[in-house]
Structures are given as structure tokens and as C-alpha cells.
Structure 1
Amino acid sequence: MSRKLPTVADLRALKGKKQLSMLRYFTIEEAAAAETAGVDIASVPPEILFDPRYREVAPSIFSMTGQTHTQCGTPLDYLRWCNDAVERGADAIYCSGSMQTVEMLAREYIPVVGHVGLVPARATWTGGFRAVGKTAADALRLFDEVKAYENAGAIAIELEVVPEEVATEISKRVKILVWSMGAGAGCDAQYLFSNDILGYTEGHVPRHAKVYRDFQAEYDRLQNERIAAFQEFVADVETGAFPQDEQLVKMPENELDAFRNQLETRP
């Protein structure tokens, strides 16, 4: 049975009723696999989402993308970029800017997604790369920030590395969609990165991640096979084993004789 691309209204109607699956992926191949697997929501780099092939392989995944607001110039430049992204197939925009920026986009009916909790780009403000909201005071600040996003017009927020009890209490007290990355099942979606799921993350694997396959071992095997194939090619060239007749085009003997004879008459 084919799925249809969900709208913002569809996702809002599911709040509190169903856990959705959400991925961050990085290639067209991963997008195609996510579509076949039935993933609901995706965070996609612009260069992938804007690829003409993207909606061919992922027609029913609610797909958001983003660009750091400071890289786009003025707020008007950022608004233009977001409008262009929606025109090119984005279902929502991940916004790293201020509440004023969120409000600006929401006023233009651009679906906006915010980020609360451990936000890597703002980790210095919350004490580095660690859980956020482990005290009552910190948890209340998280709640206030989620409400601020809701009041600014955002459709959803990613809630990252927050105690599950806090995330659950927040999610059931707000209308905005709450997408969990390491914040427990009391939210509206569960969010992981494809590289963590597939086991090819370089360096530290986050605590909240779960590895389902060891693609790194397969990538290493393929690299070794690649090297071996290139080495065999080099050896064949050096020994004369390549090229052989099956890799070559032959000239009819009579044409070859005629060619050689005419060469003899050339200065």
C-alpha cells in the first residue's frame, strides 16, 4: 500500500496518538532505503533534498532542511532562502535563529522546526555536550523555551538529550510537536542519525544512539577490495597482461595493409 506525503496538519493530528520515526540521512541511497523502510520524517542536507532525484526516491517522507541563519546574510536573505527551499520541496525548515527569526518565517506560513536541550551549536551556553534539564530549574527553562517556540509559531521542536521524565511532561503540556533525540518515548517522534544506525560514525557514538548494522566493517572490506583491484590493474599494465584482445578493437587485415602502404608515401 502506497503512502501519501503527510502535511503539517496530518502530523499535528497524530500528536499523543502515535510514535513516528525520524532520521537524519546524507545520501540519495539512504533516502531511498528510508522510504522503503517506512520512515515518517527526515532531516536532509539541502544538497540532497534539492537533488531532482530526491522526491523520486522519497515521495512520502516529511522532509525538513536548513541553513545556518548567519550564513545567509540579512534576515530578508534568510527568508528568501527558506522560501526557495520550500519551493524546491522542503516540507519544513530547521531554524537555528532567534525567536524573532522563527516568528518572521511563521508569519509567512513557512513550517519552522526549532531545537531545544543539547543544541550542539549552542552547547557552550548549556555547559557543553551533556544532558540538559536534570534539575527542576533547568527543566522549567526547557519548558519555557518550548512554549516560546510554540508561541512564535513553530510547528515542532527537536528535544535533544533531556531526561525522559522531563520530555514527557513537556510534551503532554504543549500543542507543538516534540521530536525526541535521546529524550525518551514520551515525545511525538524518535530521531536518530543514519550513520549511527548503520555503524559508520567516526569517533564518539552518542549514548542515545543504537547501532543496527556495522557498515563500517563493510566499507573497510570494500576499500580493501578496491585497493586490491587497483593493484592487480597496475601489475597487469606493468607485465603486459592488460590490455588483451577482448579489450581491443581490431582493424580488418586488408584495411590495415592499405593504411600501412599509404603511410609509406607520407613524408
Structure 2
Amino acid sequence: MMRKTVPDFEAMKQAGEKISMLTAYDYPSAQIVEEAGVDMILVGDSLGMVVLGYDSTVPVTMEEMIHHTKAVRRGAAQTFVVADMPFMSYATVELAIHNAGRLIKEGGADAVKVEGGIDIAPLVQTLTRAGIPVVGHIGLTPQTASQLGGFKVQGKDIESANQLLKDGQALEEAGAFSLVLEAIPRQVAEKITKGLRIPTIGIGAGVDCDGQVLVYHDLLGLFKRFKPKFVKQYAELRSVSIHSIQEYNKEVKSGYFPSEQHTFGLSDELIQKLYGDK
């Protein structure tokens, strides 16, 4: 499997071929996602909640993002990797170029993702001119969810829907090569998608987007704290994991594990030498 490139994703949109994207945060999950044939991996700042136990994505640092992006790159050498720019890591142009460059150079990411619409279009333009591929993110933007009234669907009235359309156009014109649409009514996401040359990746934005993304831990049923409406859980690995560990715990306490099957031994001759004649 060859790693896809930015032009490949634009070609997929033109051909009507859906783009699959999934988050991954470490070496083993990246391996699994790559082996499953997913087109694009997002090292999301959602790792703050599903891996590091924070209450939101806001506390995630650049060092944490680089650490996890490096692990994902090692696990998925042939998959296009997008790394989130964490909160306040792109507050100024200078800071954004420095931090985005670190995610590419140190983390091994192929592209970075930033949240925001028209307001960050100049920043996106600067990053792309510096040779850094950028994925935009509009709709529900978790880093600034408190300003949006919480984790709520965006674009539910004509004014906010039209603003999302303008945001999408501005980000495309600024050079973003793809756009994540989060928690947007299907009809609004469809209009945005049809009006753009670049592909849209939906999460809670309906089937008309050019692709879809989910959080690894949500898809596999590993995250317990909450489950958004837009999540389809394809497995319940949390309960399977708990059951397996409970069995291990019982076997250790009963002395059933480890059995001879899982034990190394010595020859009778060496045992005699070790213990001597008795």
C-alpha cells in the first residue's frame, strides 16, 4: 500500500470515491488502522480525553502531540497522517509556523489540522505558502466549544449556516486541501461539500460529505465517559477487555496461571546439579 498524497484526495473527490479517516494515538493502534486499509489517520487532540484523561482537548500540549504523532508515524509508515494543532499553538503566525513545522519535521506528520473559519484563513494561507499542507475544521470546534455554547450542533439557523458556507470557501481559497465538518446538519454539510473543490470529511455531518472520520476509541467501544449521537460503535472492546483481565486476575490468585504451557524449565540433570542430592 502506497501512502496517499494531497492530489490523491482531491482526485478521490472528483471521482466520487469516499475517503476514510480514523484517529490513532500510538504505535499499535496506528498499525491496526493501516492494516485495515483506512486512507488517512488523524492524530487528534481528542487524545487528551480518550488517552490522557483530560476533561477536554484544551490542556493538550505541543510536546504531547509530537510524542503521539511520532508513535503513529512509526506504526503507519504507509498512511497519510494529519496531526492536530493543539489549543493556543497557532495563536500567532510565527507560533503557528514554528509549531506546524515541528509536527511535520519532528512528528513525521504529512499535514496539520487547525480549527476555525474565515478568521484563520490568513493563517492557513501562510502555512500553505510555507509548504505545510493544512486541513481545516469548521462547525463544532472542540477547542472553542465554550464560545459556541458547548458541544452542540452548529449551523441550525440560516445565519450560522451561511457563515459555515463562507468559512468553507475562505479556507479553500486560503489553500486548505481538505475540510473537517463536525456536528453540522446534513443539508448544510451537503451544500458546503458541493460548493468546494477540496474534499470534506464529516463527523456528525451526514453521508453527503466526501469522507468520514471517527475516534478510534469510540468506534471500538473503548471510551466510557460519553457517546456522541454521530458515533457508530462497531465493537464493544471495553467489556471484552475487562472480562479478559478479570479472568487473568482469577487465574493468578488461584495459582492456575502460569501453567506448564507458559513456563520454562530445566533438564533433570541440571535440576539435580542446581539442588544437589537430597
1:163 Cα deviation after fit: 0.9
Aligned to 1:79: 97
Q: Which amino acid aligns with 2:104?
A: V
The CA distance in 1 between the partners of 2:249 and 2:93, in whole Å, is 49
Q: 1:231 aligns with which of 253, 257, 260?
A: 253
Aligned to 1:106: 128
1:230 Cα deviation after fit: 4.3
Aligned to 1:23: 22
1:90 aligned onto 2:88:
no
**Contact 1:69 1:78 (8 Å CA) reproduced:** no
Aligned to 1:35: 34
1:187 Cα deviation after fit: 1.3
**Contact 2:25 2:69 (8 Å CA) reproduced:** no
The CA distance in 2 between the partners of 1:201 and 1:252, in whole Å, is 53
1:9-44 per-residue CA deviation (whole Å, 9 max, x = no partner) reads: 111112141111110122322211211211011102
| Aligned counterparts, 1:250-261, within 5 A | 252=273
| Aligned counterparts, 1:1-267, within 5 A | 3-16=1-14, 17-44=16-43, 46=65, 47-51=67-71, 54-55=72-73, 57-68=75-86, 70-71=88-89, 75-87=93-105, 88-96=107-115, 98-232=120-254, 246=265, 252=273
1:84 Cα deviation after fit: 2.7
Q: Which amino acid aligns with 2:30?
A: A
**Contact 2:135 2:176 (8 Å CA) reproduced:** yes
The structure 1 segments of at least 4 consecutive aligned residues displaced by more than 6 Å after TM superposition are none
Distance 1:58 1:170, change over 3 A: same
Q: Which amino acid aligns with 2:124?
A: V
**Contact 2:114 2:134 (8 Å CA) reproduced:** yes
Distance 1:173 1:228, change over 3 A: same
Q: Which amino acid aligns with 2:213?
A: Y
Normalised TM-score (structure 1):
0.80
**Contact 1:75 1:101 (8 Å CA) reproduced:** yes
Normalised TM-score (structure 2):
0.77
Larger Rg: 1
Distance 1:218 1:141, change over 3 A: same
1:192 Cα deviation after fit: 0.8
The CA distance in 2 between the partners of 1:71 and 1:226, in whole Å, is 43
Q: What's the secondary structure of 1:187's corresponding residue?
A: coil
Identity %: 30
**Contact 2:3 2:79 (8 Å CA) reproduced:** yes
**Contact 2:27 2:74 (8 Å CA) reproduced:** no
The CA distance in 2 between the partners of 1:69 and 1:101, in whole Å, is 15
The CA distance in 2 between the partners of 1:229 and 1:119, in whole Å, is 46
Aligned to 2:61: none
Aligned to 2:260: none
**Contact 1:106 1:153 (8 Å CA) reproduced:** yes
C-alpha RMSD of matched pairs (Å): 2.9
Paired residues, what number?
244
1:151 Cα deviation after fit: 2.1
1:190 Cα deviation after fit: 0.8
Q: What's the secondary structure of 1:65's corresponding residue?
A: strand
Aligned to 1:241: none
1:133-167 per-residue CA deviation (whole Å, 9 max, x = no partner) reads: 12221110111111121122211121001111111
